């Protein structure tokens, strides 16, 4: 198979250091890499930490010209390190969307094509494919709930499809052996409540596509569709508050709504907010990150009324939010495309912030590490994946203790020649 599309080498831009950091003060404990030999735009969309191991999965699209046809392959790699930064293994995994480490040292990888399991040494154990692109899954007591979706364009008309799967983990592998619910929309989020399964439809955070649509569905434990709430905008993220679901939508570049919906499908409240990217619920509050009026925004919301308690703005889009012991970790960033010598170069910029969850006050930041795409937390340590080959292991206490820590960190640039219909844009 010949490579017919020019490939641009990954370059690293050295940016100015925004602050002086001593070794003792630096919250970055160590830095790891994955996909560093891949010459395409790549992003670490999923990180995890469990049982003394750190995992990071990178994702990228390979463009291949074969017999005059452009093929798009969704590929990726998974890497494992010990907690102290010792490299353990790396293996091809497919386009990683989510990770589920097992206590045995094995890890279940949700890829855009389905589920893959690797053993403690990185050896491939099993694969279970979904019909369409896997976007989200949840595992509860060895029961697996997963959603996939896709769209098809023909003669300027678009058709959406999606599925909800129920399966189980057998011998450390996902087996989708129970029931399937069919949808006529692209479903991309699943959250399992007591006696109800909430499904969100729309292009999820990290993806864009044609036409606006959006639904929240309620599915009974036996796979029966119980009710539908139409949002009219893509459901970008959902999380549970008690047994209700909080759903955030997005349209355009700054518009969006936040919903609270109960298990019967009743809309408890609906509030105009901003373009949602991530929702985190902790300590009796809803934290919503996204984009509004040209800036990144993080807002704290009262779950009883839907009213805003505080908001904080950032120079770039808020992509991911994690709560830990009264501190919010906030990952922000942006992509920027430029034409250089006839080639499209994509730059990424971004930072990691620590905020006081009660007030929204910024406590500290690690700047210039690239667009932060994923965060996982265990104890006082965070794993931070970026839109590059790099992930960072961060001491949360040190991050929250001082402001404006700069590193000679990269804004990463990668060339893309063709942008597919379904593409990562934000």
Domain parsing of the chain, residue ranges: 1-75+290-426
Predicted local distance difference test score (pLDDT) of residue 419: 34
pLDDT band at 341 (very low <50, low <70, confident <90, very high): confident
Reply yes or no on whether the pLDDT at 196 is more than 90: yes
CATH top-level class for 1-75+290-426?
Answer: mainly beta
Distances in whole angstroms, Cα of residue 173 to Cα of each of 124, 143, 168, 191:
11, 11, 8, 21
Give me the chain's average pLDDT, please.
89
Q: Give the C-alpha separation, 362 to 311, whole Å.
A: 11
Predicted local distance difference test score (pLDDT) of residue 394: 98
Reply yes or no on whether the pLDDT at 64 is more than 90: no
Q: Give the C-alpha separation, 121 to 80, whole Å.
A: 9
CB 99 within 8 A of CB 55: yes
Strands 133-140, 143-154: pairing is antiparallel
Reply yes or no on whether the pLDDT at 421 is more than 70: no
Helix (H, G, I), strand (E, B) or coil at 95: coil
Strands 372-378, 28-33: pairing is unpaired
Q: Give the C-alpha separation, 92 to 223, whole Å.
A: 34
β partners of residue 237: 248
Distances in whole angstroms, Cα of residue 14 to Cα of each of 11, 155, 410:
10, 46, 6
Q: Give the C-alpha separation, 175 to 111, whole Å.
A: 14
Q: Give the C-alpha separation, 123 to 253, whole Å.
A: 42
Q: Which residue did the predictor score with more confidence, 358 or 68? A: 358
Nearest to 10 by CA among 394, 400, 348: 348
Q: Which residue did the predictor score with more confidence, 176 or 16? A: 176
Own/partner pairs, 71-77, CB within 8 angstroms, 24+ separation:
72/420, 74/111, 74/112, 74/113, 74/133, 76/35, 76/42, 76/111, 77/34, 77/35, 77/38
Predicted local distance difference test score (pLDDT) of residue 203: 93
Q: Give the C-alpha separation, 28 to 398, whole Å.
A: 9
pLDDT in tens, 67-79: 655 567 889 999 9
Reply yes or no on whether the pLDDT at 26 is more than 50: yes
Mean pLDDT confidence for 2-19: 35
Predicted local distance difference test score (pLDDT) of residue 40: 85
pLDDT in tens, 142-195: 999 999 999 998 888 999 999 999 999 999 999 999 999 999 999 999 999 999
Q: Give the C-alpha separation, 357 to 285, whole Å.
A: 9
Reply yes or no on whether the pLDDT at 420 is more than 80: no
CB 53 within 8 A of CB 121: no
Predicted local distance difference test score (pLDDT) of residue 405: 55
Q: Round the CA-based radius of gyration of the chain to a whole number and report it.
A: 21
DSSP symbols for 333-345: EEEEEEEETTEEE
Mean pLDDT confidence for 311-336: 96
Instruction: Tell me the pTM.
Output: 0.89
Q: Give the C-alpha separation, 198 to 238, whole Å.
A: 9
């Amino acid at each position: 198979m010949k490579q017919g599309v020019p490939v641009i080498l990954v370059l690293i831009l050295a940016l100015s250091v925004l602050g002086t950091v001593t070794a003792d003060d630096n919250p970055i404990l160590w830095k790891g890499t994955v996909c560093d030999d891949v010459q395409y735009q790549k992003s670490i969309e999923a990180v995890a930490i469990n049982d003394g191991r750190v995992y990071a999965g990178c994702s990228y699209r390979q463009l291949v010209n074969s017999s005059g046809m452009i093929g798009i392959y969704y590929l990726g790699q998974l890497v494992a390190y010990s907690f102290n930064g010792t490299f353990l293994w790396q293996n091809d995994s497919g386009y990683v969307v989510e990770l589920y480490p097992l206590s045995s040292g094995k890890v279940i990888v949700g890829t855009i094509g389905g589920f893959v399991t690797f053993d403690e040494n990185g050896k491939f154990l099993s694969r279970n494919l979904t019909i369409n692109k896997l976007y989200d899954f949840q595992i509860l007591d060895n029961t697996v709930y997963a959603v996939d979706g896709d769209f098809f364009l023909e003669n300027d008309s678009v058709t959406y499809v999606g599925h909800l799967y129920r399966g189980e983990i057998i011998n450390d592998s996902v087996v989708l052996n129970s029931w399937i619910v069919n949808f006529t929309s692209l479903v991309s989020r699943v959250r399992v409540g007591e006696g109800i399964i909430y499904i969100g439809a729309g292009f999820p955070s990290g993806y864009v596509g044609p036409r606006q649509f959006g639904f929240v569905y309620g599915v009974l434990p036996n796979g029966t569709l119980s009710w539908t709430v139409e949002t009219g905008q893509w459901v970008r993220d959902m999380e549970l508050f008690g047994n209700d679901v909080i759903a955030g939508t997005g349209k355009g570049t700054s518009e969006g709504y936040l919903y609270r919906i109960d298990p019967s499908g009743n809309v408890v409240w609906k509030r105009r907010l901003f373009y949602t990217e991530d929702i985190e619920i902790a300590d009796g509050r809803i934290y919503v990150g996204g984009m509004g009026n040209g800036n990144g925004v993080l807002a704290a919301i009262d779950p009883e009324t839907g009213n805003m308690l505080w908001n904080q703005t950032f120079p770039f889009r808020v992509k991911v939010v994690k709560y830990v012991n009264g501190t919010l970790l906030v990952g922000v960033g942006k992509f920027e495309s430029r034409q250089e010598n006839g080639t499209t170069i994509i730059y990424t910029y971004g930072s990691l912030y620590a905020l006081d969850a009660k007030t929204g006050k910024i406590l500290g930041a690690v700047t210039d590490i690239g667009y932060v795409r994923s965060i996982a937390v265990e104890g006082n340590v965070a794993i931070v994946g970026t839109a590059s080959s790099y992930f960072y292991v961060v001491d949360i206490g040190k991050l929250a203790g001082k402001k404006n820590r700069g590193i000679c960190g990269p804004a990463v640039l990668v060339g893309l020649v063709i942008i597919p219909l379904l593409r990562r844009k934000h």
